[in-house]
Structure 1
């Protein structure tokens, strides 16, 4: 695997354009991303400078930058934001800013020429859902400025944009002013817990790979989300659990992924994020995980040790919904999560599906749902420390392996 260091990739002109000198961490970095597939090899940033075991302000801002030197036919990079109503998990909003072709990420429109796709999904209290997108002619991402310019993304000609409201990226707004889709409003996020890197923050250089060729960072693992948006005469206004992350790869999605389970939510006073992954055609059947648990904003776990998190689908009897490893078409009722926490404790969580937000019912699904959980002390006999924890979540699965393959 070819990996560029943090300093090297920031010194390369992204698609032959950077608007500032790169000598000072406080400089503003502007990336202009063209809409057409680029020729040449895509190189990815899969590590970040964390000197002294700290995530500095400049490194934190870099997390929100593009992580590929080009978008070719087999690479992808996206920015993802969501919020789910804390009172009714049927109600949610998701906005994603893609830089990818449908060849690299096959869940995009194969007839769309632009690699710059701004997408919005919504689900409503009555159980219905809606989705729409627009292609962009040019994407501009500004990183490293002060105040409201610390992170800014504009997908030109679409009316989609995001903006960091604080220099440390602890607050964002996503603004949609999209007459073509009859969508207008905003999603605000105010962080309730610190960022999560796949294996936590390490001593000098921290890896950003959740699995081979798959980069992932959760810049806002849990936020107070505020949604006020009108979608084709339906007004959505709610507060709830919100989230922001990024995924990227220098390789086609179907060449990497066998099974992908990801989700996040607010469970009582806890913020949780989970990621469990199997690679396609992997003879070792290695399980790649990343677990994150914070309580009242204090991180308890931020790790990628497979012994610290187990994620398993659940399904009704005589169905394949609870099968693991899973295959194309397996649809669970929910998931069981088992987090190992410090001081010989465990968090056990049941996640149940409520609303289908996106997906084709075979290869990909995203849901909102309810969570229930408890924290148990192992002494060595289990003793329940906290019970009746409840909350809401957004979660998804990809199953890319056919059963008879």
Structure 2
């Protein structure tokens, strides 16, 4: 059943905002993303604003050369199972994803327990609605046969939660992904505070609402159940040029390793300059937060381990990941590819086991989902 966004703000937010102060209320801001690009200049939000981490970032909207997306995923604590949901608002020339007669697209991909991959792409031809306040965010993307929504509690709360819900019988997919964060929200180089840069490489921007979460996935896809508990994640990216014009490659990923939560980004821009964003928390406390040179270095190993990777290269065997912590200390991790959840010429999405810890100290086992762009 499709609900008007006003009901999203009152009904779907109720559970996720249960811990919010019921007496602390402020105005609700509403906006609509239309199923068409604008024919004018699109300006990106570069410097963070209070309460704006997870909101649309392009003003007055998306044109043919800009993009804005909301990304959610979860990887099972067991083997093979994963799900990724991406809500895209993008110009036709900007990204290597299907353009279905308009800029609004919801893409659902992942893997079943047996390792088989699935993929769905649905146009949100009925627009995308947003509501936000100091209590959180709610968004509904309306397709011809159903609706796709996400709601999140305030990022000022400790351990905020998100729920992503799908009800689309026409496309053969229904269910939900629930995320309970265990790691603070952040920008590439800073915590979630106003007045800091959101740029990760020139003309590409990043905010990370949920670096790590306990996740529960419950979906039915073409009649097949996908149900698991695992580790989840949510971020968003936006940019003012087609991705292939700004990016050569990047290695990104997130992991739970023992009591450590990891996020890494090691990117190579078209001009050959390498850019870094490191993030480690332990039991919710920050261990590493840096964009400094070599603060996080990721390199492939084994088969197909050429660096930088080139278009049409298959997935590597895994990655060596090294965080420089200062004072002569490092956190090292080794990721091994278990399953390829998505593979096209310029992109690989991978899941598998990871082992890591402070170099020279006890090493821990965990699970990871990561990606590789290769232009």
How many residue pairs are counted as aligned between the two chains? 345
Instruction: Report deviation, 1:122.
Output: 2.2
- TM-score, structure 2 normalization: 0.88
Q: State whether residues 53 and 192 of structure 2, in contact with CA within 8 Å, keep that contact through their aligned partners in structure 1.
A: no
Q: 1:182 corresponds to which residue? A: 172
- Extract unaligned runs of 5+ from structure 2: 1-24
Aligned position for 2:64: 73
Q: Any residues of structure 2 matched to 1:2-401 within 5 Å, and which?
A: 26-49=26-49, 59=50, 61-69=51-59, 70-88=61-79, 90-105=80-95, 107-110=96-99, 112-137=100-125, 138-146=127-135, 150-157=136-143, 158-166=146-154, 168=156, 170-201=160-191, 205-280=195-270, 282=271, 285-316=272-303, 321-331=304-314, 332-360=316-344, 362-376=345-359, 384-387=360-363, 389-400=364-375
CA positional deviation for 1:370? 1.0
Mapped partners of 1:399, 1:119: distance in 2: 20
Deviation, 1:134, is: 1.2
Secondary structure at the residue paired with 1:322? coil
- SS of alignment partner, residue 362 of structure 2: strand
Output the CA distance in 2 between the equivalents of 1:304 and 1:335.
20
Q: CA deviation at 1:209?
A: 0.6
Contact 1:266 1:391 in 2 (8 A): yes
* SS of structure 2 residue aligned to 1:277: strand
CA 27–202 in structure 1, closer or farther in 2 if over 3 Å, else same: closer
Deviation at 1:168, TM superposition (A): 3.4
The runs of 4+ residues in structure 1 deviating greater than 6 Å are: none
* 1:228 Cα deviation after fit: 1.1
TM-score of the aligned structures, taking structure 1 as reference length: 0.82
Structure 2 counterpart of 1:52? none
Is residue 214–residue 231 contact of structure 2 (8 Å, CA) maintained in 1?
yes
- Is this contact kept in 2: 1:82–1:95, CA < 8 A? yes
